[in-house]
Amino acid sequence: MKKEFYLDYIKPFVVLVVICLAVALLLGAANAVTAPIIEQNALEKANATRNAVLSGAAGFREVSCDTARLGITGAWAETGGKGYVITAAFKGYSGGLVTVTVGMDPDGRILGVSADVSNQTQGIGSKAGQSAYLDKFLGLSGTGAASSVDTITGATWSSTAVKNGINAALAAFPAVKEAAA
């Protein structure tokens, strides 16, 4: 009776718990190794994109202001006073977020745009991330100015997400500038 009880209840329980513990330890260790690298990667990537949209930037200082409701995910001021970088994320095709990074001069004119469309359809939605499209937004300024650029036929979702992102950045610009000052 005792032995059966052990085989039926105790042993399965103990084995499962031991396996779970071993797994948790292993993954905890792996996480300790990879987490800093993942964080570093994200930092480097964000930095590289910011440099690409605001060329010649010396460095960036994060600006905190309450613009999350516009879809803004981050705002930075260039330390040399060259301008600002604002990122916004909007839903594109099939639910993937399109993150748009906009570089602006101190007057709010768009100097550079970059869009991460890696989760959009290759060859279709990805067109919304190419410079042929993004360059159309250069020089625009003022709330809602991006609406004047047409969406890409066949890639409406992705290009609308890009436009929405740029419009959000333009709309948030006054608040960001004020917060940075």
Residue given tokens 């990122």 in the structure block: 87
Per CB under 8 A, 16 contacts another protein: yes
Number of H helices, E strands in the chain: 4, 5
Regarding beta strands 60-62 and 72-78, do their DSSP bridges make them parallel or antiparallel, or are they unpaired?
antiparallel
List 55, 64, 79, 118, residue binding another protein (CB under 8 A)? 118
Minimum CB–partner distance for residue 85 and another protein (Å): 21
List 5, 20, 68, 131, residue binding another protein (CB under 8 A)? 20
Per CB under 8 A, 131 contacts another protein: no
The CA distance from 84 to 63, in Å, is: 9
The CA distance from 58 to 6, in Å, is: 68
Per CB under 8 A, 34 contacts another protein: yes
Distances (CA, A) of 138 to 13, 53, 74, 79, 109: 64, 10, 20, 22, 8
Distances (CA, A) of 36 to 23, 61, 128: 21, 21, 32
Per CB under 8 A, 47 contacts another protein: no
Per CB under 8 A, 58 contacts another protein: no
Per CB under 8 A, 157 contacts another protein: yes
Per CB under 8 A, 130 contacts another protein: no
Per CB under 8 A, 68 contacts another protein: no
Between vectors from CA 171 to CA 167 and to CA 141, what angle results, nearest 5°?
70
Stretch that binds another protein, among 11-19, 107-115, 139-147, 170-178 (CB under 8 A): 11-19
The contact set with another protein (CB under 8 A) reads: 7-8, 11-13, 15-16, 19-20, 23-24, 26-27, 30-31, 34-35, 37-38, 41, 45, 93-95, 118-119, 121-124, 154, 156-157, 160
